[in-house]
Amino acid sequence: MDAGPAPASSPTAAAFGQRRHCLRLPVLASLIVAALLAGAVLAVAVMQRTGWQSVTAIALLSCVVLGLLTRRVLRPVPSADTDAAVFQQLATAMPDAVVISDGRTLAYANPAAKRLLAIDTPAYAQRLANDIAMAGCSDETPFPMSLRGCNDEVLQCSVIARPIRFAQTSCYLFVIHDLSEIERGRAALAVSNAELQAMAGRLFSLQEDERRSISRDLHDDIGQAITAIKLAACASRDETDTARRQDDIDQIIELADSTVTKLRNLSMLLRPPQLDALGLEAALRWQANMLFRSTPVELLLDVGNLPRRPSNEVEQACFRIAQESLTNALRHARASQVSLQLHADADSGLQLRVVDDGEGFDPDGPRGLGMIVMRERAQSAGGSLSIETAPGEGTRIDLHLPYAAAH
């Protein structure tokens, strides 16, 4: 329901204040007459004994006493209206909700309470008082409560309750602090922590898988190739036939070339040499062409030259995010066209955009590890990543990074 009228003094208190104001003048007049009579009598008595000088002193003393009495009588009297106005000013300035209820009606609600709580039904004040009474309120310690907000949302609040006298009625003063934003932040933090823990576990697993794959490639391919080179060299050393020795030497050269190629491919998986030698733009062009060279998906490249070279951390973050975005578009999106754009941003940074016309996905659904890793890479380099998608509407990934990572 609507908040009650602004707190005002009770009729009894107001009438009492008016009576005290009306009684001031008769009392003051009586005091003046009594003082004058007493001064005259005292002056006559003293004059007969001591003379006019003592009479003058007594008259001055009487004036001082009379002035003090007048000031005392005419002193402003505090009223209930003054106390109520001070309370209203304090409650209006408070950011927390302040509610006064006698358990049946809502006697007062400050502006913060009207913005925060669903004060719109006659039963709300009684339900509020009953709920707080059942929660076992304390005069000293705040206690948690769930209250209905203006948009029918459940608010997590901290409530302090104190018994007071308001308008000559026994009431409760409730000070309500909204904790909903803090609770939402805590829930989001818990979700982020869970995602980070899952990501850390998954990254450790991927790291071990990658190490195992590199070890297998080194042992099975490169190790066997080096062994074959050694055997061919040993055979050619003891070979007396010139033609067969030449065949062994040719085999050694062929094995050495294939081994170098395998080592180059392994190093490219770890970090493309183009990224160090030629920069981010050349590395992105090479990576995109390598991924799409044997697929029917159309690739649209728009990689502009940056005005200056980013730092190593920013280059690596941008390259890995572009690599992950293109790989996801090929593996999961079922797209017919993918575009990659890299340009200098107006805010002294660089802007990467990867767009596909594939199936898209539900942005509120479960998120894969790749999306989490991309977002973490962007944040660790001082940038931001946004993903716009919907089922059947494709996916757009926008990445903004500074030229130098913020530490």
pLDDT in tens, 197-208: 776 776 667 667
CA 342 from chain centre, in angstroms, equals: 30
For the record, the structure tokens of 51 come out as 């003379």
Predicted local distance difference test score (pLDDT) of residue 46: 53
Mention every residue, 6+ apart, whose C-beta is less than 8 A from residue 361: 389, 391, 395
CA distance 8 to 83: 9
pLDDT reading at 270 higher than 80: no
Write down the H helix ranges in 152-304. 180-217, 224-238, 242-270, 273-277, 280-292
Average pLDDT, the chain: 75
> Measured between alpha carbons, how far is 393 from 385 in angstroms, rounded to an integer?
19
Element (H, E) at 401: strand 395-402
Q: How high is the pLDDT of residue 69?
A: 57
The dihedral formed by the CA atoms of 160, 161, 166 and 170, expressed in degrees to the nearest 10: 180
Q: Is the pLDDT of residue 16 over 60?
A: no
> What's the whole-model pTM score?
0.47
139 has a pLDDT exceeding 70: no
Q: How far apart are CA 49 and CA 52, in angstroms?
A: 10
pLDDT reported for residue 12: 34
How far apart, in whole angstroms, are the C-alpha atoms of residue 234 and residue 317? 47
Give which of 213, 101, 84 is closest to 164, Cα–Cα.
101
CB atoms within 10 A of CB 141: 8
> In 22-168, at which residue ranges do the beta strands (DSSP E only) sit?
97-101, 106-109, 143-148, 154-166
Distances (CA, A) of 403 to 49, 105, 309, 326: 106, 62, 7, 22
pLDDT confidence band for 236 (50 / 70 / 90): confident
Predicted pLDDT of residue 321: 93
Q: Over 50: is that where the pLDDT of 21 sits?
A: no
pLDDT value of residue 290: 86
Q: Give the range with max mean pLDDT: 142-151, 165-174, 351-360.
A: 351-360
* Mean predicted confidence (pLDDT) in 244-268: 81
For 86, what's the count of Cα atoms within 13 Å in the CB-facing half-sphere? 6
The percent of residues in the chain predicted with pLDDT above 70, rounded, is 68
User: Which pLDDT score, from 0 to 100, does residue 396 have?
Assistant: 95
Characterize the bridge pairing of strands 384-389 and 395-402.
antiparallel
pLDDT above 90 covers a percentage of the chain that reads 14
If we measure between CA atoms, which residue out of 11, 6, 155, 168 comes closest to residue 102?
Answer: 168
How far is residue 315 from each of residues 207, 271, 302, 311, 370, measured CA to CA in Å? 21, 11, 17, 6, 18
Q: What are phi and psi of 75, to 5 degrees?
A: -65, 135
Q: Where does residue 301 rank: exposed (0-12), middle (13-18), buried (19+ CB within 10 A)?
A: middle
Q: What mean pLDDT do residues 321-348 have?
A: 89
Q: What is the mean pLDDT of residues 1-22?
A: 40
135 has a pLDDT exceeding 90: no
Q: What is the pLDDT of residues 341-397, one digit of tens each?
A: 999 987 678 999 999 999 998 887 766 667 878 888 898 889 999 999 999 899 999
Pick the most confident of 26-35, 225-234, 295-304: 295-304
Residue in 287, 296, 400, 291 with CA at minimum distance from that of residue 353:
400
Other beta carbons within 10 angstroms of residue 341's beta carbon come to 15
Q: How far apart are CA 238 and CA 335, in angstroms?
A: 59
- Tell the residue number behind the tokens 């009650």, with chain if given: 4
Q: What is the enclosing helix (H) or strand (E) of 46?
A: helix 24-49
CA dihedral 82, 83, 84, 87 (to 10 degrees): 120
Structure tokens at 259: 């081994």
